[in-house]
Structure 1
């Protein structure tokens, strides 16, 4: 039977009860895009699936990427044709079939700084990029621009910063929302999903891994989830899970920190994104609604994995490099938001993290345990398919091949038609068409569910205080349908209020807490605790971004405790108003 597509405290509680009572075919450790993809792949093959995540969906790497769905031009330069071709095939699938409501084309300008040879060299690469993996079907072809044409497209560029340019197309996504949609689609096909569920050990039957022991960080209890096969998709925490298996494993993941800045759209006058060479990698300036995302760095990180911190040195690095080509330099006063994430790179011989492999690996160090690591966001579906293929032979039954290349995510079916009807939809809902367009690019056809809330409760048609891009209904929906359990989940991942507002969401926090309280069963004390946790997090992040190096930045960031401590029980609260 197909399970409800909602994720909320009630469905989470039901999932934990069922996980404890049943033996599932596959238990997945990790609620990032790879783990969610594994859950979806397994569920759509007819397998019973449980997914457990220590914090929130996409709480780690999968909410802190460059928000790009791309083949990777620099991997083409490294002659990794197979990786680029695979990624471009996935890009086309995501754009055309799987989630056109979440992934959309975006143009980039590549400034040329040398006459003659560079245009021929880069142009040859762009021809390949346009054709590998059927790429031409998904986005427009590249085009060559004179310096004058390039400056018309990006008046913010200094005239002496280029001699010409090439414009090409890739795609972008709100990574956290996409990951949530993958998990929610997995739930739609029967997967059991539980966040705030930390794996504390592996269950064993002799030498065989037979499931996981899980600490419920909301209720405070502990359960055993028994499974015929266990898949570790924990990303940068892969080695921690390997340690639970006695240190036996064939993967070594090396975290690499990347930070990004958000600046208002009016700070860079341009109609296209930018890609710039640096001494070690590339730097992107990416259009993001009313902002630009500037990133990224690529440095080793061996400190706290849950809350990587951006230092002032990281921020200065990005500003220095982007300002080399801008007429009007950016300053720290222009920065609206900052976020830092960790790439789970497979360790290699190179000491330079920017040169480590973006290929993924699937290994089975023990009977019943499979690990998948490495890769890049764009190819999450391939990673998931390979991981489920690896465990299929251990299930002693016939397992169908993967079909996720033909299974659209929730919100995708009928999306083009609903987009075409957006003006009529706006009239019927009594809101501006721009609001409906915003909703369609975040929810697809599930926009109807959000608007149903507005019709039931007209007061939810107002903007969130302090973050007027978002409707109050979106905060409520995040808790009632999208699995948000804490204020931070709503402000940081279901929305991007934490990085899109000048005050990092401090004003919005009180409003959103009041909105989600009935859905999450919060009393007045819990509302105040949640707001306090969020305020402490913002203060710690601001403090860390004033520090000169990773060590002091990490220490400052850890000054704010994690809201998921396992010591605060949900028992005794009133039941959510909606389930």
Structure 2
């Protein structure tokens, strides 16, 4: 449906549920509601997944650190969070087989006493997963550890404990969540900012939304308004009530990307202890090596930047395990905010990712906290709550069984079929893992003359730009470079070089003038250099 038609629907219809925020949480709520027969709208002021949801550690996991805290402190909240997340991990892996996969993670051991400690903890992790568990945790000796992860420091290595979690492409998962909600009947719109909450007799009755592309403002009527804006939840709450006390603290997740040589293709590394007690992951991801950590207190701002000090911190934590890595080896970096339900006595490293639903006197429902892996559970709880509180007529939940767009009709041997069509193995694998059953649509566009790579070292092709503009609601070069493909998150220099061509291709598809094409390219380059 064309954007003008979507705006017309927003202006002319009354929705059961209007969701503010197009990250994982908001898109998850939209899919849950629409698939249960509720008339649903989803509004995002920027692009889907532009904030927190594209800046995760790319793991679908229960959280071994949360389990450790739960066991040490007898914290039932943390324990339940881990159990719920492990259940949801299995659903995410099943519903998006193209965007997710199980991944082995090694915890290196340099002291003999560490083996029973970590092995026992990870066996508890397996037990909590129940029927949703992946491959069981196992002890690996030093020789086997070096075979599995050749770049690890062998000096004093006693072995490792290996366990499995899930890994995914977070931004593409988020985009497909929103598109699947649209497929289920929701009106879904990015670059649509809520400017005002509309009330009648003190009760919410809708919003005023401004279209960021046309500058047009429309009033949207809704029985229920949901605030699912992650770290910015308090901003919407204060739009409803200027005196609303804060619900959140925020922590930042800092990540860097290195060359693929620093990690094997199928195994990651969990570094359980750092100089300040945080956890660091070293993970293979989309042809690079992702290194990062979380839980550093942070102010709530748009597009947080990574500082040189933070990059230095990450490199310093991995030095004992991977050796000295020069600053120039960092190909890309980013920072993302995590919304944590505030507890005044706790620091951000000890705040659980449990979620909270709050109903204001005017009827605004705020859903906040949580983590990527539990987005569907959060959405389910919110929609069930809304149905009870506002007497909405909804069918039973179906989201456990609804594959995302590219997972519908997914074939495990899809990459091989693309190779048989003449694609190189790396491009075939990339298209298969990024688009799933929709990869053939991208291949058809490529046949129109768009087979060229956007960057020599990466398997991302020009046809993906056209596909994103036609089918994935991409409206700017950065939408493509950062979130429909992940080039800006993998290789800053390659993304900078590709920006003019991406802008040119989008301009042809969207009818931009020559001046607009140049302007969009420069804007994308500036954003990549600042904070993606």
How does the TM-score come out when normalised to structure 1?
0.87
Please tell me whether the aligned partners of residues 298 and 353 of structure 1 are also in contact (alpha carbons under 8 angstroms): yes
**Compared CA separation, residues 222 and 280, structure 1 to 2 (3 A):** same
Question: Does structure 2 retain, via aligned residues, the 8 Å contact 1:475–1:515?
Answer: yes
Matched, 1:506 2:496: yes
Q: Check if 1:165 corresponds to 2:165.
A: no
CA-CA distance at 1:367 after TM superposition: 4.0
Question: What is the count of residue pairs matched by the alignment?
Answer: 523
Separation of aligned partners in 2, 1:12 and 1:313: 43
Task: Indicate whether 1:291 and 2:288 are aligned.
Answer: yes
Query: Is 2:107–2:162's contact at 8 Å kept on the other side of the alignment?
Result: yes
Task: Show the counterpart of 2:279.
Answer: 282
Q: Deviations over 1:31-85 (max 9, x none)?
A: 0000000000000010111111100000100000001100100111112221111
1:132 and 2:122 equivalent? Answer: no
Among 180, 188, 193, which residue is 1:193 paired with?
Answer: 188
Partner residue, 2:91: 93
Moved more, 313-322 or 242-251: 242-251
Deviation at 1:140?
A: 1.4
**Alpha-carbon displacement from aligned partner over 1:257-285 (angstroms, at most 9, x marks no partner):** 11100000124568621101223221000
Shift of 1:532: 1.2
- Per the alignment, residue 24 of structure 1 pairs with 15
RMSD: 1.9
Q: Is 1:517 aligned with 2:507? A: yes
In structure 1, the residue matched to 2:412 is 419
> Does the CA contact (< 8 Å) of 1:60 and 1:341 recur in 2?
yes
CA contact (8 A) 1:256 1:342 kept: yes
- Alpha carbons 1:250, 1:365 under 8 Å: kept: no
Cα 1:340–1:150, aligned 2, differ >3 Å: closer, same or farther?
same
CA deviations 1:348-389 (Å, max 9, x no partner) are 133421111210011111343111000000000001111111
Question: After the TM superposition, which residues 416-495 of structure 1 pair with which residues of structure 2 at under 5 Å, given as runs?
Answer: 418-427=411-420, 429-455=421-447, 457=448, 459-465=449-455, 468-495=458-485
| Partner-residue secondary structure (3-state), 2:493 | coil
Q: Write the distance in 2 (CA, Å) between the matches of 1:310 and 1:397.
A: 44
Asked if 1:47 corresponds to 2:42, the answer is no
Aligned to 1:535: 525
Map 1:111-190 to 2 at 5 A. 111-116=108-113, 118-134=114-130, 137=132, 139-160=134-155, 162-190=157-185
Aligned partners of 2:265 and 2:284 also within 8 Å: no
Contact 1:466–1:507, Cα closer than 8 Å, also in 2: no
* Matched residue SS, 1:363: strand
Contact 1:107 1:272 in 2 (8 A): yes
Matched-pair contact (CA < 8 Å) for 1:95–1:138? no
1:77 alignment partner, one of 59, 64, 68: 68
* CA deviation string 1:196-255 (max 9, x = no partner): 111111110111111111111111121111100000000011000000111365761112
| Per-residue CA distance 1:523-577 (angstroms, 9 max, x = gap) | 1111111011122223435xxxxxxxxxxxxxxx9xxxxxxxxxxxxxxxxxxxx
Provide the C-alpha distance between the structure 2 equivalents of 1:291 and 1:180, rounded to a whole number of angstroms: 22
- 2:107 maps to 110
Instruction: Name the SS for the 2:254 alignment partner.
Output: strand
Tell me the equivalent position of 2:74. none
Give structure 2 stretches of 5+ with no counterpart.
Answer: 71-77
Indicate how the Cα distance of structure 1 residues 485 and 248 shifts in structure 2: closer, same or farther if over 3 A, else same: same
Assess if the C-alpha contact under 8 Å between 2:270 and 2:280 holds in 1: yes
Whether the 8 Å CA contact 1:12–1:195 is kept in 2: the answer is no
CA-to-partner distance for each residue in 1:176-197, whole Å, 9 max, x for gaps? 0000000000000110011111
SS in 2 for 1:512: helix
Corresponding position of 1:6: none
